[in-house]
Structure 1
Amino acid sequence: MPTATPTTMTDRVTETLAIDFGTSNSAVAVVDRGRVFRLPLEQGQDTLPTAVFFPTGGKMKIGAPAGEALIAGEEGRYMRALKSVLGTTLFHEAKLIGGKRRTIADIVTAFLCEVKERAERMTGLTFTRVVCGRPVHFHSADPERDARAAADLAACLRAAGFVHVRFVLEPEAAALANQGANDTEKLGLVVDIGGGTSDFTLFRTGNDGPDILASHGIRLGGTDFDQHLSLTHVMPLLGHGGELRREFGPGLLPMPKAIFVDLATWARIPFLYTAETRREVAHLVKYAVDRVRVERLETVLEAELGHDIAFAVERGKIAANKPEGAGKIALGLIEARLSAEITRASLDTALADMQVRLEDAIRDTLDLAAVTPGEVGTLVMVGGSSLMSLVEEAGRAVCPEARVARTEAFTAVIDGLALAIERRIGTPH
Structure 2
Amino acid sequence: MPAPTLAVDFGTSNTAAAILEGGAIRRLEIEPGAETLPTAVFFPARGDMRIGSDAARALIAGDEGRYMRALKSVLGTPLFHDPRLIAGRRRTLAEIVTAFLATLKQRAEAQTGHRFTRVLSGRPVHFHTSAPDRDQQAEADLRACYNAAGFDTVDFLFEPEAAAIASRETQGLGLIVDIGGGTSDFTVFRSGGGTEILASHGIRLGGTDFDHAISMDHAMPLLGLGGQLRRTLGEGLLPVPRGIYVDLSTWAMIPFLYARETERLVEDMVKHAVDPRALGRLATVITDQLGHDLAFTVEAGKIAANDGTARAAIDMAMIETGLAAPISRTSLNGALSASREPLTTAIRQTLFSACIDPMAVETVVLVGGSSLLSLVQDEARAACPAARLHRSEVFTAVVDGLALATA
TM class, shorter-length: over 0.9
1:49 correspondence with 2:38: yes
Question: TM-score normalized by structure 1?
Answer: 0.93
Q: Give, in angstroms, the shift of residue 14 of structure 1.
A: 4.1
Which stretch has the larger CA shift, 279-288 or 300-309? 279-288
State the secondary structure of the residue aligned to 1:179. coil
Q: Alignment partner for residue 223 of structure 2, among 213, 218, 238?
A: 238
Alignment length, in residue pairs?
407
**Separation in 1, partners of 2:323, 2:107:** 42
Partner of 2:148: 159
State the secondary structure of the residue aligned to 1:180. coil
Q: Give, in angstroms, the shift of residue 362 of structure 1.
A: 0.5
Superposition pairs of residues 113-124 of structure 1, within 5 angstroms: 113-124=102-113
Q: Alignment partner for residue 120 of structure 2, among 119, 123, 131?
A: 131
Q: Deviations over 1:19-72 (max 9, x none)?
A: 000001001011123211001111221001101001101110001010001000
Partner of 1:411: 396
Partner of 1:287: 272
Superposition pairs of residues 7-156 of structure 1, within 5 angstroms: 14-156=3-145
Partner of 2:184: 198
**Separation in 2, partners of 1:134, 1:173:** 10
**Separation in 2, partners of 1:415, 1:15:** 14
Partner of 1:425: none
Q: CA RMSD in A?
A: 1.1
Residues 325 and 387 (structure 1), Cα distance of their counterparts in 2 relative to 1, 3 Å cut: farther
Partner of 1:355: 340
Q: Alignment partner for residue 175 of structure 2, among 171, 189, 194?
A: 189
Superposition pairs of residues 261-410 of structure 1, within 5 angstroms: 261-323=246-308, 325-410=310-395
State the secondary structure of the residue aligned to 2:55. helix
Q: Give, in angstroms, the shift of residue 243 of structure 1.
A: 1.1
**Separation in 2, partners of 1:93, 1:358:** 32
Which one-letter code corresponds to 1:137 in the other structure?
H
Q: Deviations over 1:192-251 (max 9, x none)?
A: 0111100000001142x2111100000111111111000000000111111111111111
Q: Give, in angstroms, the shift of residue 297 of structure 1.
A: 0.5
Which stretch has the larger CA shift, 317-326 or 367-376? 317-326
Q: Give, in angstroms, the shift of residue 387 of structure 1.
A: 1.0
Q: Deviations over 1:249-280 (max 9, x none)?
A: 11111111110000000000000000111111
Partner of 1:253: 238
Aligned residues of 2:3 and 2:115 also touching (Cα < 8 A): no
Q: Give, in angstroms, the shift of residue 324 of structure 1.
A: 6.0
**Separation in 2, partners of 1:332, 1:159:** 42
Aligned residues of 2:214 and 2:335 also touching (Cα < 8 A): yes
**Separation in 2, partners of 1:242, 1:168:** 46
**Separation in 2, partners of 1:274, 1:73:** 18
State the secondary structure of the residue aligned to 1:365. helix
Aligned residues of 1:54 and 1:78 also touching (Cα < 8 A): yes
Q: Deviations over 1:305-361 (max 9, x none)?
A: 000000000000000001365411111111111111111110011111112221111
State the secondary structure of the residue aligned to 2:322. coil
Which one-letter code corresponds to 1:361 in the other structure?
A
Aligned residues of 1:177 and 1:412 also touching (Cα < 8 A): yes
Superposition pairs of residues 166-185 of structure 1, within 5 angstroms: 166-181=155-170, 183-184=171-172
Structure 2, unaligned runs of 5 or more: none
In percent, how many aligned pairs have the same letter? 60
Q: Give, in angstroms, the shift of residue 400 of structure 1.
A: 1.0
State the secondary structure of the residue aligned to 2:26. strand
Q: Deviations over 1:160-189 (max 9, x none)?
A: 0001100000000000000322x32xx100
1:218 correspondence with 2:203: yes
**Separation in 1, partners of 2:245, 2:18:** 39
**Separation in 2, partners of 1:35, 1:384:** 24
Question: TM-score normalized by structure 2?
Answer: 0.98
Which stretch has the larger CA shift, 349-358 or 156-165? 349-358
Aligned residues of 1:132 and 1:417 also touching (Cα < 8 A): yes
**Separation in 2, partners of 1:279, 1:161:** 43
State the secondary structure of the residue aligned to 1:132. strand
**Separation in 2, partners of 1:194, 1:340:** 25
**Separation in 2, partners of 1:179, 1:16:** 21
Aligned residues of 1:128 and 1:163 also touching (Cα < 8 A): yes
Which one-letter code corresponds to 2:8 in the other structure?
I
Aligned residues of 2:6 and 2:19 also touching (Cα < 8 A): yes
